[in-house]
Amino acid sequence: MDKIRGRVWKFGKNVDTDVIIPGRYCNSIDYDELAKHCMEDIDPDFVRKMSSGDIIVADTNFGCGSSREVAPLAIKHAKVAAVVATSFARIFYRNSINVAVPIFESEDAWAGTDEGDELEIDPSTGEIRNVTKGRSFNSAPFPEFVQQIMSSGGLVGYAEARLAAQQ
Partner 1 sequence: MGMTVAEKILAAKSGVDRVLPGDIVQASIDVALTHEGLGPMFFPEFERFGRPIWDKDKVVITIDHFVPAADIKQAINSKLTVEFVKRHDIKQFYPYNGPSHQMIAEHGLARPGEILVGTDSHTCTAGAFGTFATGIGSTEMVAVFLEGKLWFKVPQSIKFVVTGELRFGVMAKDVVLEMLRMIGSDGANYKAIEYTGSAIENLSVDGRMVLSNMAIELGAKVGIVPPDDKTIQYVKARNDKPFTVYTADPDAVYEAIYEIDATRLEPMVAVPHNPANGVPISGIADDVRIDQAFIGSCTGGRLEDLRAAARVLKGRVAHSDVRLLVIPASREVYRKAMDEGLIEIFFNAGAIIEYPNCGPCCGLHQGILAPDEVCVTASNRNFPGRMGSPQARLYLASPATVAASAVEGRIADPRKYL
Our finding on whether 135 is near partner 1 (CB under 8 A) is: no
Indicate whether 95 belongs to the interface with partner 1 (CB under 8 A): yes
Rounded CA-CA distance 112/137 in Å is 8
Binding range to partner 1, per CB under 8 A, among 1-9, 57-65, 76-84, 108-116: 57-65
Q: What gap in Å lies between CA 40 and CA 50, rounded to an integer?
A: 12
Question: Which of 1, 36, 60, 79 is close enough to bind partner 1 by CB under 8 A?
Answer: 60
How many residues interact with partner 1 (rule CB under 8 A)? 37
Residue 141 in contact with partner 1, rule: CB under 8 A? no
Find all residues with CB under 8 Å of 125, minimum gap 6, and list them.
Answer: 141
Cα-Cα-Cα-Cα torsion 66, 50, 84, 124, nearest 10 degrees, comes to 120
The reply to whether 151 sits near partner 1 by the rule CB under 8 A is: no
Are 63 and 89 a contacting pair, CB within 8 Å?
A: yes
Question: What region, left, alpha or beta, does residue 75 occupy, with left being phi > 0 and alpha being psi -120 to 50 degrees?
Answer: alpha
Residue among 1, 7, 10, 22 that touches partner 1 (CB under 8 A): 22
- For partner 1, the binding residues (CB under 8 A) are 14, 16, 18-19, 22-24, 26-29, 40-42, 60-61, 64-70, 87, 89-91, 94-95, 98-99, 154-156, 159-160, 163
